[in-house]
Chain A
Amino acid sequence: MPTYILRRLLQSALILLGVSFITFFLLFVLPADPVRQIAGRSASAAVVESIRQQLGLDQPFLVQFGRYLSGLVQGDLGRSYLQKSEVSELIASRLPATLLLMVAAIFCELVIGLAMGIIAALRRDSFTDQALMMTSFVTVSAPQFVVSLLMLYVFAVKLGWFPIGGYGTFRHLVLPAVTLGILGSGWYSRMMRSSMIDVMRTDYIRTARSKGLTRARVVLGHALPNAILPIIAMIGIDIGVFMGGIVVVESVFGWPGIGQLAWQAIQRIDIPIIMGVTLVSAVAIVLGNLLADLIAPFIDPRIKLK
């Protein structure tokens, strides 16, 4: 086990190196000049060059990348070009909101998605099954902007049950989390359905049934633990997606997450922020997957980590 974790962590480091290299390279070849954004439109060529030198952007690619990496290993994500403050501080200020929404949204996704998936699997090919799978199609393909606004309009503006966007209390969290839960539940319900159907066909389920266990015990005690493995892996991926930012939902609900930060930085080619958010999101994906793999043996003892 420890060697397995060590190996995976080493792999992760390589992946992160690759991600940072590719992102840095793409930003380097981008046909847009961050210095011009910093210098402003009244800047003379001399001023532009002076800023370019100060930021080291006149250096060749590998030198720039090397400098970035050496800062990175010392935990320095650099300073924002336009906000002129530490990127780590900017990201840290957004992390609590992002994490909170991520946990709440994944919880909603699981509750809605697993319930739909299990019911659909048990009522396979029935009208219920088809209706649920149709619903999951709709939620997966529904435009985030429309669903978010609709939820906001109905439950906050018309009914007044929740605040119209914002951050701070539990009531602020409900709508964005439920919205994301609905939007993401389709993936989980489809995955759960097919996994459940596979498991329900196995011999041990037939045995469990034939020895007279209640349907509930069969489904929740025997089938679910075996069917849930692919879901665990999906959560691992989901964590990465959420950490990369959920720009649309965040902006409709006024949620101060990392997505907003990334979006603003992209518009202003604030490279240190873009790099920082990309790395944080990559770390989350890598760790999320690692975590999912580490949890798997506890749920299914047949899996051995080597």
Chain B
Amino acid sequence: MKKLLASTALMLALCGPTLAQDYVPDPAAKQGGSIVMTYKDDVATLDPAIGYDWQNWSMIRSLFDGLMDYVPGTTDLRPGLAEKYEISEDGLTYTFHLRVGVKFHNGREMTADDVKYSLDRVTLPATQSPGSGFFGSIKGYDAMIGGTATSLEGVTVVDPLTVKIELSRPDATFLHVMAINFASVVPKEAVEAANGDFGKMPVGTGAFKMKEWTLGQSLVFERNTDYWRAGEPYLDQITYEFGQEPIVALLRLQNGEIDIPGDGIAPAKFAEVMGDPAQKARVVTGDVLHTGYITMNVTAAPFDKVEVRRAVNMAINKTRIVQVVNNRAVPATQPLPPAMPGYTKDYAGYPFDVEGAKKLLADAGFPDGFETDLYAMNTDPNPRIAQAIQQDLAAIGIKANIQSLAQANVIEAGGAGTAPMIWSGGMAWVADFPDPSNFYGPILGCTGAEAGGWNWSKYCNPDLDKAAVAADSMSDPAKTADRLKAWSDIYMKVMEDAPWAPVYNDQRFTMKSDRMGGADALFVDPIATVNFDYVYVK
């Protein structure tokens, strides 16, 4: 249990000014209109305690609300179902005051009991929530996971509109945790009535409610006319159509049949779209809180030598790899992506220096290089990227054999520690919430290095773990700058030890029909993917 506590402590933190300027509504926005969005895959579930893929993430955000929320198109927190909150002096008690008159889609008013029920539900092992770990700092979490309690000790209903949450340790990311989909407030009676199928019959407080769902074909959301944010959302209806190839979605977009191709621009069509002014005008670009990286298993030769790992960092021609993905990314210098608070702007990363890399290899005792395995996921563009990496490594004498496997098999090899090198593409880390701690615990910290964990480098630096815990204990909003500096230092130390070779940060390219209105940032929202609550039809 200790380990569990540590890992979740690391994932949490408070960044930026606690409550930034709220959203300024678009003066041109108007009510009404329906849009069509397509996806290749059917949506798995709309249960906020379960849904954890980039497809249902934005849908769930439109159906549900949590106590906290983000200013649309940004990574800045703002209050959600909680109108205001107080944090105790020691940072261990959060008191949330709920808004009056918020109604669920079934018409019932939301109360503090629902907040408690929802947090209990997501941490109950029977729910099998992939997000339960985020709530590890709440007092009583261990008892929930251990099966000795069915209700979180730390969550108390003070009165129908006040809920008090006590933590077992200071957690600077706690407000982010209250804004994550998993913390959405759900009505108990609807969950129970759904009898295990809440994911197919979602009921929330969100801007949209589910109208109908034809499995495998389409899903229709309609405007929640009782939404507590007055005047929102703008759209009357959103129809998601499933089973559509990205290439076909693009044809339909050009034909005016759909408004947003959910899977973005098909790689095969990227150059054509960007080369045609009419089509390019429909493209929207934005940052993703993502880093693609190569892991090196530091527990086994030859990557147990830091010189070897640094040599790999210097051997990778990131600019060329970015070209391999049609410039849909920017070269990465460090684990954190540029849009993440705590990113170290003045750090240039390892230079691309073949001679320097060879020298480092020779110093480490490998003047003639060595042979190793590079694991990569088997879907495009990852095998091509793996080949580019293979060529770069060959230039300094490292012969890397590519093991191109299905995603689950690569993850298995990474967790088991049997893969000397892994290209993370297709499985790479996209932040759960915009805080630097989110890139540490599971993928660079000691907890994640255990068998089965996501820290595929098996890098474990107890000093950094301590520094991470210390940074995440700074929950006083006034200390935000210090905290971000602490995180920046942690990642700089990681780069020194070089368990990873960061390669690139994805850029998101999506498209929208000519009739769609709303700031570009809403279509590439760093939190919601597409912020349906604020886009509109011209």
Residue of B at shortest CB range from A38? B128
Of A32, A84, A156, A164, the most chain B CB neighbours within 10 A belong to A84
Indicate whether B450 reaches chain A with its CB closer than 8 angstroms: yes
Beyond the given A255-B243, A264-B41, could you list 15 further A-B residue pairs with CB under 8 A, ordered by the A residue number? A32-B411, A36-B411, A40-B131, A42-B134, A44-B136, A82-B50, A84-B196, A85-B196, A85-B199, A97-B216, A165-B252, A251-B243, A251-B245, A254-B245, A260-B243
Complex contact A42–B442 (CB within 8 A): yes
Indicate whether A43 reaches chain B with its CB closer than 8 angstroms: yes
Residues from chain A with a CB closer than 8 A to the CB of B200 are: 85
Residues from chain B with a CB closer than 8 A to the CB of A5 are: none
Binary B-proximity of A73-110 (CB < 8 A = 1, otherwise 0):
00000010011110001100110010000000000000
Residue of B at shortest CB range from A46? B145
Complex contact A31–B413 (CB within 8 A): yes
Complex contact A256–B125 (CB within 8 A): no
Residues from chain B with a CB closer than 8 A to the CB of A94 are: 215-216
Q: Taking A46-B146, A82-B45, A85-B197 as contacts, is the C-beta distance between A256 and B131 under 8 angstroms?
A: no
Indicate whether A120 reaches chain B with its CB closer than 8 angstroms: no
Residues from chain A with a CB closer than 8 A to the CB of B408 are: 30, 32-34, 36-37, 268-269
Indicate whether A50 reaches chain B with its CB closer than 8 angstroms: yes
Residues from chain B with a CB closer than 8 A to the CB of A32 are: 406, 408-409, 411-412
A143 CB to nearest B CB, Å: 14
Residues from chain B with a CB closer than 8 A to the CB of A215 are: none
Interface size on A, residues (CB 8 A): 54
Complex contact B411–A167 (CB within 8 A): no
In the complex, chain B residues 110-144 whose Cβ is within 8 Å of any chain A Cβ: 125-126, 128-134, 136
A85 to B44, CA, bound (A): 9
> How many contacts A-B (CB < 8 Å)?
160
Indicate whether A233 reaches chain B with its CB closer than 8 angstroms: no
Interface size on B, residues (CB 8 A): 62
Complex contact B452–A47 (CB within 8 A): no
Chain B residues with a Cβ under 8 A of chain A: 1, 3-4, 7-8, 11, 38, 40-42, 44-45, 47, 50, 52, 125-126, 128-134, 136, 145-147, 196-197, 199-200, 214-217, 241-245, 247-248, 251-252, 255, 257, 406-409, 411-413, 415, 432, 441-442, 447, 450, 452, 454
A22 to B214, CA, bound (A): 33
Residues from chain B with a CB closer than 8 A to the CB of A39 are: 128, 130
Q: Taking A36-B411, A40-B52, A42-B130 as contacts, is the C-beta distance between A164 and B257 under 8 angstroms?
A: yes
Residues from chain B with a CB closer than 8 A to the CB of A36 are: 408, 411-412, 415, 452
B341 CB to nearest A CB, Å: 19
A157 to B1, CA, bound (A): 58
A226 to B214, CA, bound (A): 45
Binary B-proximity of A18-58 (CB < 8 A = 1, otherwise 0):
00000000000011111011111111111110110010000
B291 CB to nearest A CB, Å: 14
Complex contact A42–B8 (CB within 8 A): yes
Complex contact A82–B44 (CB within 8 A): yes
Residue of B at shortest CB range from A164? B252
Binary B-proximity of A261-278 (CB < 8 A = 1, otherwise 0):
100100111000000000
5 contacts between A and B (CB under 8 A): A32-B408, A42-B133, A45-B3, A83-B199, A165-B244
Residue of B at shortest CB range from A269? B408
Residues from chain B with a CB closer than 8 A to the CB of A153 are: 251
**Pick from A33, A51, A250: contact of B128, CB under 8 Å:** A51
Indicate whether A252 reaches chain B with its CB closer than 8 angstroms: yes
Residues from chain A with a CB closer than 8 A to the CB of B7 are: 42, 44
Complex contact A84–B45 (CB within 8 A): yes
Chain A residues with a Cβ under 8 A of chain B: 30-34, 36-48, 50-51, 54, 79, 82-85, 89-90, 93-94, 97, 149, 152-153, 156-157, 164-167, 250-257, 260-261, 264, 267-269
Residue of A at shortest CB range from B254? A157
Complex contact A33–B215 (CB within 8 A): no
Residues from chain B with a CB closer than 8 A to the CB of A268 are: 44, 408
Of B1, B128, B415, the most chain A CB neighbours within 10 A belong to B128
A263 CB to nearest B CB, Å: 9
Complex contact A252–B217 (CB within 8 A): no
Complex contact B251–A43 (CB within 8 A): no
A267 CB to nearest B CB, Å: 7
Residues from chain B with a CB closer than 8 A to the CB of A51 are: 125, 128
B429 CB to nearest A CB, Å: 8
Residues from chain B with a CB closer than 8 A to the CB of A31 are: 409, 412-413
Complex contact B130–A251 (CB within 8 A): no
B432 CB to nearest A CB, Å: 7
Residue of A at shortest CB range from B40? A251
Complex contact A44–B216 (CB within 8 A): no
Complex contact A42–B131 (CB within 8 A): yes
Residues from chain A with a CB closer than 8 A to the CB of B257 are: 164
A103 CB to nearest B CB, Å: 18
B477 CB to nearest A CB, Å: 24
Q: Taking A54-B128, A267-B407 as contacts, is the C-beta distance between A48 and B452 under 8 angstroms?
A: yes
Residue of B at shortest CB range from A33? B412
Complex contact B243–A254 (CB within 8 A): yes
Residues from chain A with a CB closer than 8 A to the CB of B50 are: 82, 84
Residue of B at shortest CB range from A157? B251
A47 to B144, CA, bound (A): 10
Residues from chain A with a CB closer than 8 A to the CB of B11 are: 42
Complex contact A40–B4 (CB within 8 A): no
